[in-house]
Chains A and B, each alone.
Chain A
């Protein structure tokens, strides 16, 4: 329809591959933790995934608020892109936490405050994405999801505090200190590298996902404008001939 340039970018793919490889090499070459042994390597993917889960959530909420303020669809697409990537990293953070917890504590799951909060956030994200599927009207979809995004911003801190109070009321968080008292400097640096690399992956994914969101919106608009008269004819014309 519109003669917008469908310019595609290749650099995010390259950046993703390089950053991913970088994290892998860094976390495999660093010496293992004295206490935890090789298992400490899981931390270099678990911690960045958890960090991105929170970052992506924050970006979605910020973009939602910006959409309500500016009424600019670019903010709506940013919110969507960040939410979808956020679901991925939240699921990863939870899954990797389980993979670490099973050999370390002997259980897949503990009722740690942060873990509980992350799993609740995962469902808030899923609800946000499901809400976006309820309508094809771009304005309605953007407004609804933005208001839900802002509502989540109001509620999630309360979820956070309630879960923390709930845990501290029952048991002091003693065993829940995955890093231990003192961490090796090389390990800290590797962790920071991994967090930075994953953040770069997030940014690159955002670029591609926003590009996809823009294309999907265009497809939706194209479908709606082209199918309108066709559907109308299909309903009226045959009815006239067959009815009489």
Chain B
């Protein structure tokens, strides 16, 4: 019981961490490709 409960918190922590990192990295990638498009396509 307590064991599972502890794992829930760990799962929450790692979930939040990796979700945030992936979302932020994707936002950089998205913004880069958008800016490249504005500047006249990829080269």
**A residues engaging B (CB < 8 A)?**
5-6, 8, 13, 16, 20, 24, 37-39, 41-42, 45-46, 49, 85, 88, 91-92, 95-96, 99-100, 102-103, 201, 205, 208-209, 211-212, 215-216, 218-219, 222
CB distance from B29 to the nearest CB of A (A): 7
- Known contacts A205-B28, A215-B32; 13 additional CB pairs below 8 A are A6-B39, A8-B32, A38-B6, A39-B6, A45-B13, A46-B13, A49-B17, A208-B32, A212-B35, A215-B35, A218-B35, A218-B39, A219-B39
* B12 touching A99, Cβ below 8 Å: yes
Whole-angstrom distance from the CB of B30 to the nearest CB of chain A? 10
Tell me, in angstroms, the Cα distance from A161 to B40 when the chains sit together.
Answer: 51
Contacts A6-B43, A216-B31, A218-B35 given; indicate if A100 touches B14 (C-beta within 8 A): no
Q: What total of A-B pairs shows CB separation below 8 Å? A: 86
**A residues near B35, Cβ cutoff 8 Å:** 212, 215-216, 218-219
Q: Given A6-B36, A219-B38, do A42 and B10 touch, yes or no (CB 8 Å)?
A: yes
Give every chain B residue within 8 A of A205 (Cβ-Cβ).
Answer: 24-25, 28
Total B residues in contact with A, Cβ cutoff 8 Å: 26
A96 pairs with B16, CB closer than 8 A: yes
Q: Check A99 against B39 for contact (C-beta < 8 Å).
A: no
